Structure 1
């Protein structure tokens, strides 16, 4: 499907910025996201030249949407990136995004899907959905990572098998696999585990939708990832290890995925009281 064109002079300006992003090695997932975000800005100002907008125009546009904090932060980042590039390359005389107000990150709380829900969902899931559930709950993969799992990504390590995961920002990490999960992937037909029409595999959005439908109750694939982070942390109490397994760049992000076991809190209180 061909993306609809941007209005007026926006198309050329945004296209040049996207070329710059590609030259800097940004992954196509980021390019696609920034394209969508800048298109929204352009469609809100179809009769304005992109470099004629002021900081007030940008702030009014950002503030007019009932977006969650993380969505708002992401759109702000797109706007700042675009205008910082335009100013640095001489396309814009000023950078109207330089003084946009910061957006406070929402205080995330771990929301792991319960194990009984995962077990019952796996029992009634078809083989494809069960593989998705297992990759999210037992290996902590995002939907955008699950969709691109390839049988060639399973490789032997010193203790068994690991999965080479292509994560956000083009970052690659190795995630150790249980024997059962390794066997499931190694016995899959060669190629993408979830074949589809997006460069040979399913889209991340479709994987996310299937996970939500496959899980009993009001749970999502992302909550399977929270489940993985919480269980992985409870095993060794090593937040740094969980950070690497989840593919986070900052431990503060990982902390929002980890539900601290009640027993650990009680142990800490008893130690303080002794």
Structure 2
């Protein structure tokens, strides 16, 4: 099959460039979706009109649409660079504006209920997500070798999105829970030795209300930390965002906060 051969070669190139397993998996997943739609027509026979037709037929959220566009553009740039094709048809795909910030922190009471109903494995997944703001793919890759200790306390080395790794401080109770695990992956599975990000998200999601996802635990972490500190830069570092602008999209502004702010200032003027 021409698609599988080319996607496999591109996957090798992505790994050679140091892309993370999550990035490689996402990019190749997008191309396989396109290949399934195109059928026997090989990738280099497609035109810009074909790409526009396929992407236009999809009911995607803006961020998914932006991600797919990035995958297609990267694939065709690689095709031109390796002389598989002479025309970068994906270069003509229109830019997708970012979605309006829509922070959706999980309801704290739902998280408390989930923790009370979880087994030991899922309990630890939830805590890593809600207390440290870790993504499902980062939780999936926790390994006992990622634990370290210095004069300030325990630290966890997090394998972040796009190979942007970071060190996050571990509360003592979380450190104790991780140190009790056998040496190796915290959540063993079939994805290079650990559970896949998708499976971690599914396990946690089973204990959350309908419409609430594991990623919303990350939103809750960001929102509660911002309420306590108002320090976006520190939260950016914890969550591993490339920019503060991204972090702002995770922080929900609570109506009672706005009301209290206006009331306090109004009281000064009234006086």
What is the root-mean-square deviation in Å for CA atoms of aligned residues?
Answer: 2.0
Paired residue for 2:56, among 50, 57, 63?
63
Superposed CA deviations along residues 118-174 of structure 1, whole A, max 9, x for unmatched, are 222211221111111111111111111111112221211332211111111122111
1:30-69 alignment, distance < 5 Å: 30-69=23-62
User: Which of 72, 77, 95 in structure 2 is aligned with 1:79?
Assistant: 72
- Corresponding residue of 2:102: 109
SS at match of 1:108: coil
Q: Distance in 2 between matches of 1:154 and 1:145?
A: 14
What's the CA shift for 1:251?
A: 1.6
Which residue of structure 2 aligns with residue 203 of structure 1?
Answer: 196
1:24 matched to 2:14? The reply is: no
Distance (whole Å) between structure 1 residues aligned to residue 74 and residue 224 of structure 2:
37
Alignment of 1:77-156 (within 5 A): 77-156=70-149
2:228 corresponds in structure 1 to 235
Structure 1 residues 216 and 57 mapped into 2: Cα distance closer, same or farther (>3 Å)? closer
- Unaligned segments of structure 2, at least 5 residues: none
Q: How many residues in Structure 1 have an aligned counterpart in Structure 2?
A: 267
Which of 218, 224, 229 in structure 2 is aligned with 1:225? 218
Structure-1 separation of matches of 2:254 and 2:54: 42
TM-score by length of 1: 0.90
Measured in 2, the distance between the counterparts of 1:48 and 1:41 equals: 11
Unaligned runs of 5+ in 1: 1-6
Q: Distance in 1 between matches of 2:213 and 2:35?
A: 32
How far apart, CA to CA, are the structure 2 residues paired with 1:91 and 1:197? 33
**TM-score, normalised with respect to structure 2:** 0.90
- C-alpha displacement of 1:267: 6.0
How far apart are residue 10 of structure 1 and its match? 2.4
**Contact 1:69–1:106 at 8 Å: present in 2 too?**
yes
Residue 43 of structure 1 deviates from its aligned partner by: 2.1
8 Å contact kept, 1:112–1:223: yes
Partner residue, 1:252: 245
Q: CA 1:225/1:68 → structure 2, altered by over 3 Å: closer, same or farther?
A: same
SS state of the match for residue 214, structure 1? coil
Between the aligned partners of 2:209 and 2:44, the Cα distance in structure 1 is: 49
Partner of 1:101, secondary structure, is: coil
